[in-house]
Amino acid sequence: MTPQQTAAGSAARGRAWAVLIMLFLFQTLNFFDKLVFGLSAVPMMKELSLSPKEFGLIGSSFFLLFSLSGMAVGLFVIGRFPVKWILIVLAGIWSATQIPIFFTSSVAVLIICRIVLGAGEGPGLPTALHACYNWFAADKRSVPSAVVLQGISVGLLAGGPFLTYIIVNYGWRTGFLVCGLLGVAWMLAWALIGGEGPYAAAAPDRDAPSSEAMVPTKLLWGDPTVIGVIIMSTMSYWIVGMSATWLPPYLQLGLGYQPTSVGWIIFGIYLFQSPLLLGGSWITQFMQRRGWSLRACLGHSAALALLTAGCALLLTLVTSGVLQLVCIALAFAAPSLTTIFGPVALGAVAPAAQRGRLIVVIYSGNAASALISNALTGWIVGEAGSDVALGYAHAMTFTAGILIIGAVAAFALIFPERTIARFSRLGSVAPVATRAA
């Protein structure tokens, strides 16, 4: 290799990691935008005279177009336009819907902004993962995927104390303004740094064998592994989607923590989530290299994450002190592991040409569960009347059941090796189980 080629390779690797950092920050801002609504819950409900049911419906409105927009982007935008500009448009929508809340007390404006924000955020995570895959080869995607997902942890981790400080000292509307301005700053930086990587769909696919062909749509979407990922990810997003809206009031009104403590508890929960995601992705990748099956590394790991979360959520109702906080951390952090294992499993079984659409559509469509979970949680809490703590207990018990259903689906349906072999027999996918490890 010539010195020029070595320098070019180093520059490409440096650019890839710069892009990865920006995608990490993209997800951080994504969850700032989600968290600010939940942290503003108590003063917002008081000032705007909102009941728990009404607040739950407003929170649910965020997800009204969340899934539809994500699936629309996956079906009609991904692969047709550069991902750099797709992300700029999404971030622009985020900022444009946060800033107006600073200037109004209208519930109608708040609802409209939340609906449009949801439409902009729906494609966010799967599109960021797709952009990440454009810069890293298939055998080097697990850790970069975890880094992108760290943006979620850091957004919630740093957003807890930071946005709480802004809200307590400057008012809840200022929290929305700050989120909008941070989005503008990210757009300017991404315009300079972002771009299409060497593994983009428009480039020759260095990631897949030249003989790789498309899998028939019915066969691909009807495969048990794909169905298992759909069910597992949908049940997982039930709590992921409701956490930003309902975790802060659950801690404050359901468990009795002080407002200033809530921000730091959330900080602690997502401080724990960061090493959990990185450690989980590293361990499963290490296991696979040691010869463990994709079923064990991805299917069983996802199932255990959801089962642990469901049991921990039940334990939050009967424990106290440090043990209760540990259970809360497990319940709200562990489901995010499925957002690593699910896309990697899909990437392992799907041809590269179908990978991006499959991931974006599934991981946007699964957010429909958050539309239901936010509204249903508000309804369950409201049905308890004046006994708010009992209402939260009922809501969290129901949520634990949802997580356990997702765990059962992952155990029963996710068999990546079987799927690869099935597609291979049709001459569609090369039978290399480790190619998307």
pLDDT tens column, 40-95:
888 888 888 888 778 877 877 877 787 788 788 877 887 678 888 999 999 999 99
Confidence class for position 241, pLDDT limits 50, 70, 90 = confident
231-251 average pLDDT score: 86
Q: Is the pLDDT of residue 12 over 80?
A: no
* Domain range list for the chain: 8-425
Nearest to 364 by CA among 224, 215, 230: 230
Confidence class for position 423, pLDDT limits 50, 70, 90 = confident
Q: Is the pLDDT of residue 125 over 90?
A: no
Confidence class for position 9, pLDDT limits 50, 70, 90 = low
> What is the pLDDT, as a whole number, of residue 204?
41
Q: Is the pLDDT of residue 1 over 60?
A: no
163-191 average pLDDT score: 90
Top pLDDT among 153 and 385 is at: 385
> What is the pLDDT, as a whole number, of residue 368?
79
3-state secondary structure the chain: CCHHHHHHHHHHHHHHHHHHHHHHHHHHHHHHHHHHHHHCHHHHHHHHCCCHHHHHHHHHHCCCCHHHHHHHHHHHCECCECHHHHHHHHHHHHHHHHHHHHHCCCHHHHHHHHHHHHHHHCCHHHHHHHHHHCCCCHHHCHHHHHHHHHHHHHHHHHHHHHHHHHHHHHCHHHHHHHHHHHHHHHHHHHHHHCCCCCCCCCCCCCCCCCCCCCCCHHHHHCCHHHHHHHHHHHHHHHHHHHHHHHHHHHHHHHCCCCHHHHHHHHHHHHHHHHHHHHHHHHHHHHHHHCCCCHHHHHHHHHHHHHHHHHHHHHHCCCCCHHHHHHHHHHHHHHHHHHHHHHHHHHHHHCCHHHHHHHHHHHHHHCCHHHHHHHHHHHHHHHHCCCCHHHHHHHHHHHHHHHHHHHHHHHHHHCCHHHHHHHHHHCCCCCCCCCCCC
> What is the pLDDT, as a whole number, of residue 432?
40
> What is the pLDDT, as a whole number, of residue 437?
32
Confidence class for position 138, pLDDT limits 50, 70, 90 = low
Tell me the pLDDT of the chain averaged across its residues: 82
142-163 average pLDDT score: 78
251-279 average pLDDT score: 81
Least confident window among 4-8, 221-225, 272-276, 364-368: 4-8
Q: Which residue in the block uniquely carries the two structure tokens 């401080």?
A: 271
Top pLDDT among 197 and 392 is at: 392
Estimate to the nearest angstrom the gap between the alpha carbon of 331 and the chain centroid.
15
Q: Is the pLDDT of residue 433 over 70?
A: no
Q: Is the pLDDT of residue 436 over 50?
A: no
> What is the pLDDT, as a whole number, of residue 222?
92
pLDDT tens column, 355-366:
777 887 888 778
pLDDT tens column, 196-225:
777 765 444 444 444 456 788 888 999 999
Partners of 78 in the β-ladder: 81
> What is the pLDDT, as a whole number, of residue 388?
84
> What is the pLDDT, as a whole number, of residue 10?
61
Q: Say what percent of the chain tops pLDDT 70.
A: 89
Pairwise CA distance, residues 232 & 334, whole Å: 13
The CATH fold assigned to 8-425 is: Growth Hormone; Chain: A; (1.20.1250)
> What is the pLDDT, as a whole number, of residue 203?
45
Instruction: Find out whether 74 and 357 touch, Cβ atoms under 8 Å.
Output: yes
Instruction: Find out whether 29 and 155 touch, Cβ atoms under 8 Å.
Output: yes
Q: Is the pLDDT of residue 412 over 90?
A: yes
Q: Is the pLDDT of residue 267 over 90?
A: no
Partners of 81 in the β-ladder: 78
Q: What are phi and psi of 78, to 5 degrees?
A: -60, 130
Confidence class for position 343, pLDDT limits 50, 70, 90 = confident
> What is the pLDDT, as a whole number, of residue 320?
84
The structure tokens listed for 218 are 């019915």
